[in-house]
Amino acid sequence: MRVVEIPSEIPLRHTEDWERVLDVVPAAVLIVDSRGAIVYANEEAALLTGYTRDELTRCDVEDLVPEDRRSAHAQWRSGWRGECRPMGTELDIECRRADGTNFPADVSLAPITLADATYVVATLRDETERRRSEDELLRRALHDPLTGLPNRVLFLDRLHHALERRGREGQPVAVLYVDLDGFKDVNDTWGHATGDEVLQVVGRRLAATVRPGDTVARFGGDEFLILCERLTSEKEAADVAQRLLDAISVPVDLHAETVDLSASVGIAVAGHPSDTSTGLVDAADQAMYQAKRTGGRIATGPSPLGS
């Protein structure tokens, strides 16, 4: 192994030497004076912002802030006391490129004194890809991978907030529990791949049939849930249920095969301030089984009072 001896003093005596060092730093670096003028920008800063280095050194730091945020940024800068700010503090920061587009950024700030003057060294990092990845992870955590519909977790969260709004506004909130009849026969006859395609078709039909603002979720297997808010009456929930059954009953044509479907729907309407999300879903589930037992296709359960 070759031993590399590090000199105790690195001879960076000229501006050109510092610029050469900063140009190999894999991050955008700006040096800003006390007035907010950019006095130095490395090559990575030019690539990130779309300005040339000369253009950047003729800019004020506010030029890199979206217009609708400049006033707030200037106010924050006037109150800044020169403390170091590392990256990763999760502030909502947006930067503006030369072409007028914006991008999310993380910024570190460090004051430095040079020739009796105080400057700020700002290091910028584009957060677009990281935030896109986080958004995608969140989307996957809250949506069914087969149909793309909200999953159980997201549905229960929306139902919880809907019940809170109902407490303030007083308008009915209903949960519709939809279960396909005899779906096991579809899988047994045509295979699970065809069954998955049928579920995707059903999911799209349900989403296209409900009212604007309603939520359609896949609860698992061949079960779907619909959240109906701001109903004018309980009858309106039954009307929605009938439209859903009509949409499901249209034959599904797949691979030269026609799949006939039917379903049963249970309805539960919140009727008490102490109704809970899980209690309302359970009541709709029980009503759905009642619909299957009676052959009526639609059944409305009692309010899950205090459940």
* Residues marked as catalytic: 222
Q: Which pairing describes strands 252-254 and 298-300: parallel, antiparallel, or unpaired?
A: unpaired
- CA-to-CA distance for 97 and 160, rounded, in angstroms? 41
Nearest of 158, 99, 122, 108 to residue 281 by alpha carbon: 158
Q: Are 288 and 179 in contact (CB under 8 A)?
A: yes
Query: What is the helix (H) or strand (E) element at residue 123, kind and residue range?
Result: strand 117-126
* Distances, alpha carbon 72 to alpha carbons 60, 89, 93, 94, in Å: 15, 18, 11, 12
CA distance 238 to 148: 25
User: At which residue do the structure tokens 């460090």 appear?
Assistant: 110
Task: Judge whether 37 and 60 are in contact, CB under 8 Å.
Answer: yes
Give every CB contact of residue 126 below 8 A, 6+ residues apart in sequence: 48, 103, 104, 105
